[in-house]
Amino acid sequence: ADAPGNRVIAGVNGDFYEISGFATGVPNGLFMDDGVILNSSISAFTFGLKEDGSSIYGVPKLTKNITINGKTTNLTSINRSRNTNELVLYTEDYNTTTKSTNEGDEVILDIVEGEVKSGQTLKLKVSEIRNNQGNTPLTKGKVVLSANGT
């Protein structure tokens, strides 16, 4: 940024956003802030800066699992529109609601421990199960697991 001692000579606006549908305004690429995953990528190239000032570039792959009663499965995405046969985790950073249809189930989970951060385990407790209900409100201290299909 332009500040005493700095001289800005150029800038790049390289972001792409959903421009229609339920996810209007959500960035297409991975978006993180201080390690917190605000939304996962949809196979788009991503540029980032590490704490040491070095850069990282490429197509990130989400490898987040969820374990319920000893059974583990992969999340499809974080804070993205849910489609058929997908399992999506929503946080308050997405919107005020999941913006999903009633064609699926959503589980409201209390955050017991951790954050939705890269490399971190999140411990959750079931607060409410909403069968065949979408558009669940997103609030602080909670996340929503949204599923559709088999």
Q: pLDDT tens digits, residue range 24-40?
A: 667 777 777 888 888 88
Q: How many domains does the chain have?
A: 1
- pTM score: 0.79
Q: In Å, how far from its chain's centre is CA 96?
A: 14
Q: Is residue 29 part of a domain?
A: no
Domain hosting residue 136, numbered range: 65-148
Average pLDDT, the chain: 86
Q: Is residue 32 part of a domain?
A: no
pLDDT at 1: 57
Q: Is residue 39 part of a domain?
A: no
Q: In sequence order, what are the residues at sequence separation of 6 or more whose Cβ sits closer than 8 angstroms to the Cβ of residue 131?
A: 105
Spatial distance between the Cα atoms of 80 and 99, rounded to a whole number of angstroms: 10
Q: Is residue 100 part of a domain?
A: yes
Q: Is residue 13 part of a domain?
A: no
The model's pLDDT over 109-121, given as tens digits with 9 standing for 90+, comes to 999 999 998 888 9
The model's pLDDT over 64-81, given as tens digits with 9 standing for 90+, comes to 888 888 999 999 999 988
pLDDT at 11: 67
Q: Is residue 35 part of a domain?
A: no
Q: Is residue 122 part of a domain?
A: yes
On the CB side of 26, CA atoms within 13 Å amount to 25
Helix (H, G, I), strand (E, B) or coil at 146: strand
